[in-house]
Structure 1
Amino acid sequence: MTSIILIFVLQLIYVPILTLRTIFLVKNMSVAASSFGVLEALVYVFGLSLVFSGHQTIAGMIVYAVGFGVGLYIGSRIENKLAIGFVSLAVNLLDLNEELIVVLRNKGFGVTVFEGKGRDSKRYQLEILTKRNRENEVMSIIEEYEPKAFIISYEPRKFKGGYLVKSMKKYFRRQNEGHQSN
């Protein structure tokens, strides 16, 4: 019974590590991905050695599989809380909402406005790039000011220049100056 509980606990540790390693790898964060890879391999080998120790039972194998599934759920929840990376939102509006644009900009979001021609009339699109951990905040603001907006959210892989990059550089410059004066 102890080995079955240990197998389950190991899966609850292993799979979130696997999930985070994969995410860090996809986001090109090689050092973090490598570190999680080492931990993943250690837990994996130890867990498999318990399952295939010669005393394998159907219950042990089922617990291994269930632990894997629960671990995936936990890993995805952890990743959602960390919200690593950036998100780009394309917000399509029927009318130009200057108040929404001002509110978004005052909250620190870079907003680019495009005007286009739809089937029946002019349309407007706001393009917003922000950190993933602020995506729900942006969505709430848009919902409050434009409940009928059509929004597409996606994760950009690479970007260069622009408002967000400039503001990040200023932030890191201020952080470094603060650490040097201490």
Structure 2
Amino acid sequence: MLENAVIMVIIIMVINIVYVSLSTLRVILTLKGRRYVAATIGTFEIVIYTLGLGLVLDNLNEIQNLIAYGLGYGLGVVIGSMIEEKLALGYITVNVVSSNPDITFTKQLREKGYGGVTSWYAYGMDGDRLSMQILSPEKI
């Protein structure tokens, strides 16, 4: 009896970890405009979700299953964000302050593919500066 309870808890946790990790990836891919990949992941995601929730709802008298479901969800959030970091599907913003206030530097950055370059002149302790905010893919 105890073996079955432990196996059920493990199954529920693994199902929810996979479900929430897929959910995280699906949202990120949707925001990146990869709708077909996101839809494919969403198909698997909902099947897994239904299986996990069904196991918990069929055994509501077993509190450990509900706890496993919650823990699996939380772990899925952590693991999903770790997967996203490894895949580097997002963008980062880099702030740069140059002691050379030559505005042509921003043009050179744009020519190298950094389209999201915003620049402005600034004044620092030792004189004029060029301040830039550069939007870049996480994976370069």
- TM-score scaled by length of structure 1: 0.59
Greater relative contact order (Cα < 8 A, sep 6+): 2
- The amino acid of 1:76's aligned partner reads S
In 2, are the aligned partners of 1:12 and 1:68 still within 8 Å (CA)?
yes
Give the corresponding residue for 1:84. Answer: 89
Give the corresponding residue for 1:164. Answer: none
- Greater than 6 Å deviation, 4+ residue runs: none
5+ residue gaps, structure 1 = 135-182
CA distance in 1, matches of 2:129, 2:57: 62
1:35-74 alignment runs, 5 A limit: 35-74=40-79
Deviations 1:128-173 (A, max 9, x none): 4432113xxxxxxxxxxxxxxxxxxxxxxxxxxxxxxxxxxxxxxx
Give the corresponding residue for 2:100. Answer: 96
Out of 68, 73, 80, the position equivalent to 1:75 is 80
Give the corresponding residue for 1:131. Answer: 137
Q: Provide the identity percentage.
A: 29
CA distance in 1, matches of 2:54, 2:119: 58
Provide the alpha-carbon RMSD of the alignment: 2.9
Work out the number of aligned pairs and report it: 127
SS at match of 2:42: helix
SS at match of 2:23: helix
CA distance in 2, matches of 1:66, 1:5: 11
